[in-house]
Amino acid sequence: MTTTAPGGPLAAELPFFVYGTLLPGEPNHDLFLRGRTAGERPAVLPRALLYDGPGYPYAIEGHGRVHGTLLVAAPGVYGELLGLLDHLEEFLGPGHPRNLYERVAREVELPGEADAGDGADAGHGAGESVRAWVYLAAAAVTRSLRTGGVLIPGGRWTTGRS
């Protein structure tokens, strides 16, 4: 089940699942995350597809898996980090017509040690699952991607770019 919650102090303090320019080694990681995370680890978003965008990817609901990183906010900076990410992802509030992305709470899989490889079944085993904020493409963007978007095979943005 997917749920959306507004920003601000009433938002659940969930970790964040990132899959594009916020990944370690990507341009927005240092700009937005340096000094603001207490932990980062590989994770997989099930039931999602990844599409190429204009310099950044979009994840949408679908029959696939998106690979990324789970981020835990450092103590005392959750509100700041949430605001920064909402601004970066152009999330103005649940269902807002000008949203580029919707921030939704989804179950994210944390692969166990035996699952952490790059094989076709990586992430399907004994790892745990946690609820996290994920920025999925907003409704209008999703419709456009489904009709004319470029799907990234394997759900890994860093390996999907040319």
Active site residues: 89
Backbone phi and psi for residue 160, each to the nearest 5 degrees, phi listed first: -90, -10
Backbone phi and psi for residue 152, each to the nearest 5 degrees, phi listed first: -95, 110
Residue 145 CB burial class (10 angstroms; 0-12, 13-18, ≥19): buried
Q: How far apart are CA 162 and CA 150, in angstroms?
A: 12
Q: How far apart are CA 21 and CA 57, in angstroms?
A: 8
Residue 54 CB burial class (10 angstroms; 0-12, 13-18, ≥19): exposed
